[in-house]
Each structure stands twice: as structure tokens, then as C-alpha cells.
Amino acid sequence: MQGRLPPSVRVVEVGPRDGLQNESVPISIATRIGLIDRLGAAGLTMIESGAFVSPKWVPQMAGTAEVLAGIARRPGVVYPVLVPNMKGFEAALALERSGVPVGEIAVFSAASETFSQNNTHCSIDDGLTRFAEVTRHALGAGWRVRGYVSVAFGCPYEGQVEASVVASVTRRLLELGCYEVSIGDTTGVATAGAVRRVFDPLCTKIPAGQLAGHFHDTWGQALANTLAMLEFGVSTVDTSVSGLGGCPYSPGATGNLATEDMVYMLHGLGIHTGIDLDRLVDAGSYISAVLGRPVGSRAARARLAQRERAEGQHRSTPGGRARKVADE
């Protein structure tokens, strides 16, 4: 049932994992650490920091253990990692036993059988069975587990996905022990109408506090889709700094919703995030420069243009020019 917008929103930053996993440019461990540290300094309290997956399939996530060991951890900030199977869990557990905390992992399913086969080489049921073991061991280790449902609004192979399937997979992930499930528009095809079609029945069966949204911006609808979701009382949204990301198993899908754009919209609505937009813009500029591309956020580009104009005005004043000369 739609209602008022929430007074605050929890932003889950997925750039260092979901954002970087599909990049073709090699990204050093030091750069990944630098990005995560900048995001923490900007006020993000949940930063998905890597994945314990095979480097053969996702080479950009190689060295996740070194990344987690190297970041400057901040009080109150969580650094979850994606763990797709028991081999990944064992790697995460070995890291924690070495003295580097893990604390939270993420597992993922899909709302389409064909996508599940292409993404994880198994059926939805088989994947959930696999995750049941991972989740059981993770909970036993005292970790929290977050779930994802991919292609919840449209599959690149099957087309529109039934809302009942999304609800069923979501419920099963919660039954496994996930404290929250993020509903993903992996291909970025959703509209506000599609969001209402999925979240309306979903929120009648599952508390909004156990749900999140994850929208890609392929068709330029991610902000509108997030706003439509917030009207159902769901107050957690996944975003990626500078709009990084895509999905290697979803042909044509572009980046995630840019964190900077989301934060700018939320602040404009008077919704609290605890995030410093200027520091966030700096984090996006940092990783974009490494990747050799312009920043992927419209809000970031606008803020950077404001800074350039302000600097230009400063230099044009007699005092400003004198100070600049003195600095030189």
C-alpha cells in the first residue's frame, strides 16, 4: 500500500563490488581500497567491498581478502562481501580467522530460470539449496546475511517476470535467514508502473523493512523507480558511485543508479541519508579518473561544474588572483 515517503533512507553502496566487477580495465587492490575509504569518509555506512568468487569468472574481484585487510575501517560502517557458494564462504571464514573481520555476506538468486542457469549454471531451486548451506554456516559464524533477487522486473531471456515469482524467491531467501532482500532491476527495464506491480503485492506479504531496491539506469528510469518504491515504505536502496556497473550476464544492461544522483534527489526531498554529497562527488571523480572516463553521475557533473565556476570567479577577483600568484 503506497503512503508517505520515509524520513530517512539507508543507502547501500555497491560500487566497489557490483560496480567494478564488469569493468574491462584492470583495477589495483590499492585503488579499490582508496575508493572504499573515500566512500566511508563521505558517510556511507554500508559499502559492498568485494566478492569471494572465482577470478576466472570475475577477475576484477580477485584480491578481495587483501582489500578487506587494507581498508581503513570506520566505526558503524559495514563492509559486506558477496559469497556465492561454500568455497567462497570458506575463503571468507579463513580471512576472519586471520584477524580481518567479515561480519556480513550477501547471497543472490533470480526470478527467472533461464537467467539463473546463465548466471550460476543451476536452477533457482538448486541455487537456493546451495545458499541454504552457506547461510546456515554464516549465521553460525555470527554473520548477517543479505539476499538479492536478480531480474525482478524483466529478464533478458524470458521478458517480463511474474510478481508472484519475485515474492516467492524473496520469501524463500528470508526463510533461509537473510535479514533483508534487495529486489533488483538487473537489466534496467523497469518503469514506475512496473515497480508498483511488483512491490504492491510484495509489501502485502513482507514487511517493508526487510526489502530494498536495486535499480539499473539503462532506460533512464532508476530515480523514478526508486521514488515509486519509497512510496511503499521501503527505505533501503542500492546505488553505485558514479553509476558504475552492469551485469556480465545481462546483455545491454548499463550501470547502476549513481549514488550521487540518488543522494541529491533524497536531500531535495528532505530525506536524511547522512551522506556528504561533496565528498561523494570526490570519490566518484577518483574512480572515474582511474578508469579514464568522465564521471557517470549527472549530479556529480553539475557539482563539479559549480566548483569550476566558483574557482574561476575567485581567480578573476584582484584579491583572488593575488592569492593565487602567492600560492604559485
Structural contact between residues 180 and 144, judged by C-beta atoms closer than 8 angstroms: no
User: Which has the closest alpha carbon to 270: 57, 1, 4, 55?
Assistant: 4
Structural contact between residues 236 and 211, judged by C-beta atoms closer than 8 angstroms: yes
Instruction: Mention every residue, 6+ apart, whose C-beta is less than 8 A from residue 137.
Output: 86, 89, 93
For the chain, what is the radius of gyration of the CA atoms? 20
Q: Helical H runs in the chain?
A: 29-41, 64-70, 86-97, 113-120, 124-140, 163-176, 192-205, 222-230, 259-268, 277-291, 298-316, 318-327
- β 236-239/81-82 pair status: unpaired
Structural contact between residues 287 and 249, judged by C-beta atoms closer than 8 angstroms: no
- What is the dihedral angle through the alpha carbons of 19, 25, 29, 35, rounded to the nearest 10 degrees? -40
Q: 181 has which bridge partners? A: 147, 211
Three cell numbers, residue 252:
545491454
Coil, strand, or helix at residue 107?
A: strand
Q: What are phi and psi of 229, to 5 degrees?
A: -70, -40
Active site residue 203: no
CA of residue 141 relative to chain centroid, distance: 24
Q: Helical H runs in 188-258?
A: 192-205, 222-230
Q: What are phi and psi of 202, to 5 degrees?
A: -60, -45
Question: Which residues are known catalytic residues?
Answer: 247
